A and B are shown apart, each in its own frame.
Chain A
Amino acid sequence: MRYLPLADSDRQEMLRVVGAGSIDELFVDVPEAARLQDKIEGLPDHLSEMGVERELARLSRRNLVAGDVPFFLGCGAYKHHIPASVDHLIQRGEFLTSYTPYQPEIAQGTLQALFEFQTQVARLYGCDVANASMYDGSTACWEAIGMARRITRRGKAILSSGLHPHYVSVAKTMARFTGDVLDTALPVLNAWTDTERLLNALDGETSCVVVQYPDIFGRIGDLSELAERAHGKGALLIAVVTEPVALGLIRSPGEMGADIVVGEGQSIGVGLNFGGPYVGLFATRDKYVRQMPGRLAGETVDAEGKRGFVLTLSTREQHIRREKATSNICTNSGLCALAFSIHMTLLGETGLRRLAGVNHARASAAAERLAAVPGIELVNPAFFNEFTLRLPREARPVVRSMAEKGVLGGVSLGRLYPGVEALERGLVVAVTETSTAEDVEALAAALEEALA
């Protein structure tokens, strides 16, 4: 067994030291009836490295790989090019096989990287501070709503209809058990998001307004007025960003007055991975830091006065506060946060702005080309790298039939909002630096064929 170093002679010698006649004697506390005498039935025995690889490669070939076809899916997960050095560096054993940095003297690598990550996220979001990451965007979004409840001591959250429906689902699941009241609505297939509805719902009971930027259809709009009006009612503005590359080109939510900015960091450094692991980003203002969930790295000095980093403000956390903690979260998404940070360092200000520029230009060109397909209309005039088309008929079968021809042509709103007739013609198309002009032509042709 290649991962088990003990030899039988070692085992015999160790049993002698322990004073046991057999391994079974070490399991003496397990009642006889619960002790399995043999291998569990119906499960195969061990395989060689070659055997495992062959079997899993067989499974992997039964999937249509994004990089092999014209690909336009987004809605919370985006295909971007990741520099080779990112994956190389996160596979260094000292990062990959280390633990949460509870012994800071021998975990400065992880801690300094987290401190750098926190700074990058805070700056990108236009906030004062960020934590060391959450599981993903959807859980970060829910944690932000809980944080707003703690800060305002109010229980009503108003969720924009432009918020990712899965994020809304997660919030609904949690709210059912925590007693928060969520004011939600289905989106309407039109050019602008539902700021009016949010403004009308704001009242003295409101803890927060949650908006996505860019939203689930790819729409973008200024958040300043919403922030001002929310603050006027003593509520917080939470902004959710599922495509962080956008912030290379458009103003950050923090600059426009958002109090908590959360989102998905997958676009930068982390691959599609069929939905996980991803990395939740979470940032806020200085004055709210003690209500923020999740781990935090902070700067300090060692006994010789040298600069160093530690996990800090842990009196907010479960291992100290137990049932009084700000969250039950224990793990963050350390290695994905590191990948995000390395990719962001390789981009820098210049690279991020250029990357965002290319995304926007390619998406703009694609929007024009696709809106020229007979029967198709562009729903939103303002967007970053993702926009919504209205097809002349239900989009979901169109997406399926294009996939059969080897074109992954976007996300149908029928997939995201099943059974909602008013949305069933919607198709959300994401265009990144990985989509070529030929890919766009292939999509246009596939749409024409499917709609013919």
Chain B
Amino acid sequence: MSMNREGRPTRPEAADGAPATWTGNRALMLEEPLIFELGEEDGCGVDIEDIGSSGSRLSGLERNRPIGLPGLSEPQAVRHYTRLSRQNYAIDLGLFPLGSCTMKHNPRLCEKVARMPGFADIHPLQPVDTVQGALELIARLGGWLVKLTGMHSVAMSPKAGAHGELCGLLAIRAALEARGDAREVILVPESAHGTNPATAAFVGYRVESIPATDRGRVDFDALKARLGPDVAAVMITNPNTCGLFEPEMAEISRAVHDAGGLVYCDGANFNAIVGRVRPGDLGIDAMHINLHKTFSTPHGGGGPGSGPVVFSEALTPFAPLPFVEKQGDHFALVEEETAGEHHGSSFGRMVAFHGQMGMFTRALAYIMSHGADGLRQVSEDAVLNANYILRRLDDLLDAPFGDSGPCMHEALFSDKGFAGGLTTLDLAKGLIDEGFHPMTMYFPLVVHGAMLIEPTETESKAALDQFIGAVRSVAERAKAGDQSLKAAPVHAPRRRLDETLAARKPVLVWKDPPRAEAAE
């Protein structure tokens, strides 16, 4: 459907038998055109004087064609983006049970402190004497992360979880190369996040998959059998993506080390164990921490994330530059020039500057707000909430590993038992109509039709009960083969979208329609 200049759909639709409206809007449900349909080339929402480019030193490179950027005045822009925002689901609106994503409440204090000019308005290349507070903040957050994980050191610069994985694997590869040990294979359990094999391949390793047991854990026997002089490392997620703790983690680490390899832990699920288990006690060599998960920096519709990596003593010399080091009362920034003397083994630089400072500020505010006592309560409540959901739904929904004991911070179900060709996707879309964001669908890959539910600790019992009621209602329809679910969602801003069409004929940018006068 296209819009006319008034932002009105050319083909107004009626829904639920309600009469069509002239605008196509329905009360608070407002359609919004693109800025390219709303804006004008001379529209502008800022006051800047027009001084042209006379006396220019541009070497004859002046633009001679229009760019094609529409502008809006401030009131128009505020309305455009406010209207767009209302087409989004968000944690602020309700429970957001995406498994493995840890969608918890984002404290507004964290937003406030990140905007203090002393953090938000400083340049990454200012002389270090003028940014001592910022360096101290990075060092302090790093100190918390090291203590909470029981590891030896931390690299703060990785920009996101997958970037942290890259950091960990680069350190592992550098450490192996330093001892003249060219190994080629990385073992990854089949339940792993897609980023794990993608990262290993990116660093130049061959990826081999390790199966899971029927209790949802890494098959330790299969793993042991595969270890050998060609295995550089194993990448293990713990708690794993089935929402279960790997009870043999310490033994796995020992076996890998005995075979000359190293252990990478995907820390995406750290929220389940923060304050109760230190990965360092389980023989891990490197682990990334998604600050946007466990430490609640906002997901922002897909980033920015932040993925600091904690290292064992063995990997510490290979950590990336730059990093902050306390020297007496002074915080120093160790970069290429200063690294030479003490950190010559560093594998190098991963990003232009020092990492996601804006996320560090938020994460530290979150951590200080909870403290050592509160963080322990975080993991306890996260695990309790997930087990509550598991046990209130496992009579109705198939829970593939429900018999093997309690889960950690997320509960795994499948669509086994749905009738009439209905699947996980239909239940998910049915939940949208009930006012919830769906759970993670079809992941982990080891369970057919998987549904992974992670409530987090910031949900009240009342919110959980309402969510459980909604899932039960939709699941009963799915088990009865209620075909109306195939049409869900019917109450969302859009019905199901044609993803095949989007991929077959990609339209990735707006193209101006031919002007009417040009056609004449």
Say which residue of B132, B365, B493, B496 sits within 8 Å of A303 (CB atoms). B496
A436 an interface residue at 8 Å Cβ cutoff? no
B113 an interface residue at 8 Å Cβ cutoff? yes
Residues of A within 8 A of B247 (CB): 29-31
Residues of A within 8 A of B195 (CB): 318-319, 328, 330
CA gap between A272 and B67 in the complex, in Å: 26
CA gap between A45 and B41 in the complex, in Å: 55
* B:75-131 near A, CB below 8 Å: 77-78, 80-82, 84-93, 96, 98, 101, 103, 105-107, 109, 111-113, 115-127, 129-131
Residues of B within 8 A of A18 (CB): 384, 387-388, 390-391, 406
Task: Give the segment of B256-264, B351-359, B415-423, B471-479 that binds chain A.
Answer: B351-359
Q: Across the interface, name the chain B residue whose C-beta is closest to A39.
A: B372
Number of chain B residues whose Cβ lies closer than 8 Å to a Cβ of chain A: 209
CA gap between A233 and B390 in the complex, in Å: 61
Contact A14 to B134, CB < 8 A, known contacts A77-B124, A119-B510, A328-B165: no
Say which residue of B41, B111, B161, B351 sits within 8 Å of A348 (CB atoms). B41
Q: Across the interface, name the chain B residue whose C-beta is closest to A25.
A: B406
Q: Across the interface, name the chain B residue whose C-beta is closest to A361.
A: B51
A-B contact number at CB 8 A: 718
Best-buried of A101, A264, A323 by chain B (most CB within 10 Å):
A323
**B113 & A4 in contact (Cβ 8 Å cutoff):** no
**B67 & A106 in contact (Cβ 8 Å cutoff):** no
**A383 & B57 in contact (Cβ 8 Å cutoff):** yes
**B194 & A318 in contact (Cβ 8 Å cutoff):** yes
Rounded to whole Å, the gap between the CB of A262 and the closest CB of chain B is 12
Chain B binding surface SS class: loop
**B62 & A40 in contact (Cβ 8 Å cutoff):** no
* B:480-515 near A, CB below 8 Å: 487, 489, 492-499, 501-503, 506-510
**B502 & A312 in contact (Cβ 8 Å cutoff):** yes
* A:60-77 near B, CB below 8 Å: 60-68, 71, 73, 75-77
B332 an interface residue at 8 Å Cβ cutoff? no
Say which residue of B60, B65, B129, B372 sits within 8 Å of A45 (CB atoms). B372
B236 an interface residue at 8 Å Cβ cutoff? no
A184 an interface residue at 8 Å Cβ cutoff? no
Task: Give the segment of B220-228, B308-316, B457-465 that binds chain A.
Answer: B457-465
B412 an interface residue at 8 Å Cβ cutoff? no
Say which residue of B60, B63, B368, B509 sits within 8 Å of A47 (CB atoms). B368
**B126 & A170 in contact (Cβ 8 Å cutoff):** no
Contact A318 to B162, CB < 8 A, known contacts A59-B133, A276-B354, A328-B195: yes
Q: Across the interface, name the chain B residue whose C-beta is closest to A272.
A: B123
Best-buried of B84, B134, B428, B507 by chain A (most CB within 10 Å):
B84
Contact A274 to B357, CB < 8 A, known contacts A172-B348, A349-B66: yes
**A39 & B45 in contact (Cβ 8 Å cutoff):** no
A79 an interface residue at 8 Å Cβ cutoff? yes
Q: Across the interface, name the chain A residue whose C-beta is closest to B120.
A: A271
Contact A52 to B365, CB < 8 A, known contacts A105-B492, A129-B508, A335-B301: yes
Closest 10 A/B residue pairs (Cβ): A348-B71, A60-B118, A275-B353, A335-B300, A62-B133, A93-B92, A418-B337, A275-B124, A46-B371, A277-B304
Say which residue of B1, B68, B71, B122 sits within 8 Å of A272 (CB atoms). B122
A296 an interface residue at 8 Å Cβ cutoff? yes
Say which residue of A115, A301, A351, A357 sits within 8 Å of B497 (CB atoms). A301
Mark each residue of chain A from 119 to 139: 1 if its CB lies under 8 Å from any CB of chain B, else 0: 110111000111011011111
Q: Across the interface, name the chain A residue whose C-beta is closest to B248.
A: A31
Say which residue of A60, A138, A322 sits within 8 Å of B117 (CB atoms). A60
CA gap between A62 and B132 in the complex, in Å: 6
**A166 & B352 in contact (Cβ 8 Å cutoff):** yes
Rounded to whole Å, the gap between the CB of B311 and the closest CB of chain A is 16
Residues of A within 8 A of B443 (CB): 319
Rounded to whole Å, the gap between the CB of A331 and the closest CB of chain B is 4
Offer 24 A-B interface pairs, CB within 8 angstroms, sorted by A. A4-B458, A14-B385, A36-B277, A39-B372, A52-B113, A62-B133, A62-B136, A77-B125, A97-B91, A166-B352, A222-B61, A274-B354, A277-B159, A300-B501, A302-B495, A305-B1, A306-B1, A314-B503, A318-B195, A322-B207, A329-B163, A333-B303, A348-B70, A358-B51
CA gap between A175 and B477 in the complex, in Å: 54
CA gap between A430 and B197 in the complex, in Å: 42
B23 an interface residue at 8 Å Cβ cutoff? no
Contact A352 to B506, CB < 8 A, known contacts A63-B118, A98-B301, A274-B357: no
Contact A101 to B302, CB < 8 A, known contacts A39-B373, A119-B510: yes
**B497 & A250 in contact (Cβ 8 Å cutoff):** no
Mark each residue of chain A from 355 to 380: 1 if its CB lies under 8 Å from any CB of chain B, else 0: 11110110010010000000000000
Residues of B within 8 A of A11 (CB): 381, 384
Q: Across the interface, name the chain B residue whose C-beta is closest to A125.
A: B67
Rounded to whole Å, the gap between the CB of A181 and the closest CB of chain B is 14
Say which residue of A33, A62, A177 sits within 8 Å of B170 (CB atoms). A177
**B1 & A299 in contact (Cβ 8 Å cutoff):** no
CA gap between A141 and B52 in the complex, in Å: 32
CA gap between A33 and B247 in the complex, in Å: 11
**B72 & A345 in contact (Cβ 8 Å cutoff):** yes
A384 an interface residue at 8 Å Cβ cutoff? yes
Residues of B within 8 A of A415 (CB): 125
**B352 & A275 in contact (Cβ 8 Å cutoff):** yes
CA gap between A350 and B72 in the complex, in Å: 10
CA gap between A348 and B38 in the complex, in Å: 12
Contact A350 to B136, CB < 8 A, known contacts A116-B34, A342-B81, A360-B58: no
Residues of B within 8 A of A103 (CB): 89, 428, 432, 437-438
CA gap between A57 and B166 in the complex, in Å: 34
Mark each residue of chain B from 382 to 401: 1 if its CB lies under 8 Å from any CB of chain A, else 0: 01110110111000000000
CA gap between A61 and B77 in the complex, in Å: 34
Say which residue of B134, B405, B438, B461 sits within 8 Å of A13 (CB atoms). B461
CA gap between A23 and B377 in the complex, in Å: 10
Q: Across the interface, name the chain B residue whose C-beta is closest to A45.
A: B371
CA gap between A402 and B466 in the complex, in Å: 61
CA gap between A190 and B93 in the complex, in Å: 57
**B46 & A347 in contact (Cβ 8 Å cutoff):** yes
Say which residue of B41, B299, B320 sits within 8 Å of A98 (CB atoms). B299
**B371 & A47 in contact (Cβ 8 Å cutoff):** yes
